[in-house]
Chains A and B, each alone.
Chain A
Amino acid sequence: MTSIYKADAVFGDDSEETFSVAPRFCLIVDDSATIRRFSARLLNAMNFVVGEAEHGVAAVEACRLVVPDLILLDWNMPEMDGLACLKAVRAMDLQPRPMIVMCTTENVLPKITEALAAGADEYIMKPFDRDVLRDKLAQLELI
Chain B
Amino acid sequence: MDDLLQEFLTETNESLATLDVELVRFEREPSDAKILGNIFRLMHTIKGTCGFLGLPRLEAVAHAGENVLGKFRDGELDVTPGAVTLILKAIDRIRQILSAMEQTGAEPAGEDSALIAEINAMASGQAVPEMAAASLDDDGGFPVAAELLAEVAQAIEQNPTLAAPAPVIEPDVKKAEPAKANGEPAAPAAESSAAASSIRVNVDVIENLMTLISELVLTRNQLLQLQRGQKGNEFKVPLQRLSHLTSDLQDGVTRMRMQPIGNAWAKLPRIVRDLAVETRKRIELVMLGADTELDRQVLEIIKDPLTHMVRNSADHGIEPGAERLAAGKPEAGTITLKAYHESGHIFIRISDDGRGLNVEAIRRKAIANGLVTEPELATMSEQQIIQFIFRAGFSTAEKVTSVSGRGVGMDVVRTNIERIGGAIEMSSVQGQGTTFLIKIPLTLAIVSALIVEAASQRFAIPQINVIELVGVSDRSDVSIQRINNAPVLRLRDRLLPLVSLRGLLNLAEDETGAGRTSYVVVAQVGSAKFGIIVDRVFDTEEIVVKPVAPILRGTPFYAGNTILGDGSVILILDPNGIAQAARQQTADDGKSDVHAAAQDGIKDETSFLLFGTRGSELKAVPLELVARLEDLDAASIEHVGGRHVVQYRDHLMPLVPFDEFHEWPASGKQAVLVFSDHGRSMGLAVDKVVDIVRDRMAIELSSERTGLLGSAIIAGKATDIVNIGHFLTLAFTNWFDGAVEARVVAQRRALVVDDSAFFRNLIVPQLRAAQWHVTSAANGAEALRIMEADRPFDIVISDIEMPEMGGLDFAAAVRRDQRWQGLPMIALSSHANANDVQQGRAAGFDEYLSKADQPRLPENLARAMDAVTQASPWRNAS
Residues of A within 8 A of B (CB): 7-8, 10-12, 25, 27, 31-38, 40-41, 44, 49-55, 57-59, 61-62, 65-66, 76-78, 105, 126-130, 132
Least Cβ–Cβ distance between A90 and chain B, in angstroms: 19
Contact B4–A41 (Cβ < 8 Å): yes
Given pairs A32-B49, A34-B7, A129-B170, 4 additional interface contacts (CB within 8 A) = A52-B191, A52-B195, A66-B190, A132-B169
What chain A residues lie within 8 Å of B195 (beta carbons)? 33, 36, 51-54
Complex partner residue of B41 from A10, A65, A76, CB under 8 angstroms: A76
What chain A residues lie within 8 Å of B192 (beta carbons)? 27, 51-54, 58-59, 61-62
Main secondary structure of the interface of A (DSSP, over half): mixed
Contact A127–B48 (Cβ < 8 Å): yes
A33-B171 contact, Cβ under 8 Å, with A8-B185, A27-B192, A127-B51: no
A51-B182 contact, Cβ under 8 Å, with A33-B196, A34-B4, A76-B41: no
What chain A residues lie within 8 Å of B184 (beta carbons)? 8
Contact A38–B173 (Cβ < 8 Å): yes
What chain B residues lie within 8 Å of A130 (beta carbons)? 171-172
Closest 10 A-B residue pairs measured CB to CB? Answer: A58-B194, A127-B51, A66-B190, A11-B172, A34-B8, A129-B171, A62-B192, A53-B192, A127-B52, A52-B195
Contact B7–A37 (Cβ < 8 Å): yes
Contact A126–B45 (Cβ < 8 Å): no
- Alpha-carbon distance A91/B110, docked complex (angstroms): 49
- Alpha-carbon distance A138/B221, docked complex (angstroms): 65
Total CB contacts across the A-B interface at under 8 A: 116
A37-B193 contact, Cβ under 8 Å, with A105-B44, A129-B170: no
What chain B residues lie within 8 Å of A129 (beta carbons)? 169-172
Complex partner residue of B175 from A11, A34, A58, CB under 8 angstroms: A11
Shortest Cβ distance from A40 into B: residue: B185
- Alpha-carbon distance A12/B171, docked complex (angstroms): 10
- Alpha-carbon distance A36/B194, docked complex (angstroms): 12
Contact A11–B176 (Cβ < 8 Å): yes
The answer to whether the Cβ of B716 comes within 8 Å of any Cβ in the partner chain is no
The answer to whether the Cβ of B3 comes within 8 Å of any Cβ in the partner chain is yes
- Alpha-carbon distance A8/B44, docked complex (angstroms): 30
The answer to whether the Cβ of B291 comes within 8 Å of any Cβ in the partner chain is no
What chain A residues lie within 8 Å of B264 (beta carbons)? none
A62-B193 contact, Cβ under 8 Å, with A37-B7, A76-B44, A127-B51: yes
Contact A32–B48 (Cβ < 8 Å): yes
The answer to whether the Cβ of B188 comes within 8 Å of any Cβ in the partner chain is yes
- Alpha-carbon distance A41/B171, docked complex (angstroms): 12
What chain B residues lie within 8 Å of A132 (beta carbons)? 169
- Alpha-carbon distance A38/B169, docked complex (angstroms): 14
- Alpha-carbon distance A7/B180, docked complex (angstroms): 12
Shortest Cβ distance from A78 into B: residue: B41
The answer to whether the Cβ of B425 comes within 8 Å of any Cβ in the partner chain is no
The answer to whether the Cβ of B618 comes within 8 Å of any Cβ in the partner chain is no
Least Cβ–Cβ distance between B385 and chain A, in angstroms: 53
- Which of chain B's residues 24-51 have a Cβ closer than 8 Å to chain A? 38, 41, 44-45, 47-49, 51
The answer to whether the Cβ of B224 comes within 8 Å of any Cβ in the partner chain is no
What chain B residues lie within 8 Å of A36 (beta carbons)? 195
Least Cβ–Cβ distance between B825 and chain A, in angstroms: 41
Q: Could you show 19 A-B contacts with beta carbons less than 8 Å apart?
A: A8-B182, A8-B185, A11-B172, A11-B175, A25-B190, A33-B11, A33-B195, A34-B8, A35-B49, A36-B195, A38-B173, A53-B194, A54-B192, A54-B195, A59-B194, A61-B192, A66-B190, A105-B44, A127-B169
